[in-house]
Amino acid sequence: MVPVVAFNVIVITLAVLIHYEFLFRITSLLPHMKVRHRFRIVLIVLIALTAHAVEVWLFAGAFFVMHHADGWGHLQGNFGGELLDCVYFSFTTYTTLGTGDIEPIGDLRYLTGLESLTGLVLITWTASFIYLEMTRYWESD
């Protein structure tokens, strides 16, 4: 159980650090951009979506590793064991959509719950960041 908990903590820590770095880089980039403010917001949204996609792929890789490791749980249902199946499961978990066609079994369930919580926090962080940037840079064009 301890290796699974440590693995989960590492994955979540990496996801938060990735998100922080993406938002930090956006903040560093914005003052140097010579484009209209509305395009800055579009760029922020596109970069934020990229950050979320990278984080989903990180969790997908973790699910793939855990599914194929002995004693760490597995995924069952509409699941063929491929990486793209893990990506699909990760997207539905990260966004808390949870279609239910793939079910986590065993210790892998903990990472599933933690991904939902992490996704909720990171999506909210992004929304707050975009709102603050909009109020800072928004002008009536």
d(CA 129, CA 78): 36
Angle between helix axes 37-68 and 83-94 (nearest 10 degrees) is 120
Give the pLDDT confidence of 80-105 residue by residue, as tens digits.
999 999 999 999 999 999 888 999 99
pLDDT score for 38: 80
| Per-residue pLDDT at 63 | 98
What is the pTM (predicted TM-score) of this model?
Answer: 0.93
Question: For residue 33, what pLDDT is reported?
Answer: 82
What is the model's pLDDT at position 13?
Answer: 98
CA angle 115, 118, 123 (to 5 degrees): 120
- CA pair distance 54, 21, nearest whole angstrom: 12
CATH assignment of 2-137, given 1.10.287.70, 3.40.50.2300, 1.10.287.470, 3.40.50.300?
1.10.287.70
Question: Are residues 138 and 41 in contact, defined by beta-carbon separation less than 8 angstroms?
Answer: yes
Residues in the chain predicted with pLDDT less than 70, given as ranges, are 137-141
Q: How far is C-alpha 117 from the geometric centre of its chain's CA atoms?
A: 10
Residues 6+ apart with CB under 8 A from 78: 101, 102
For residue 39, the model assigns a pLDDT of 87
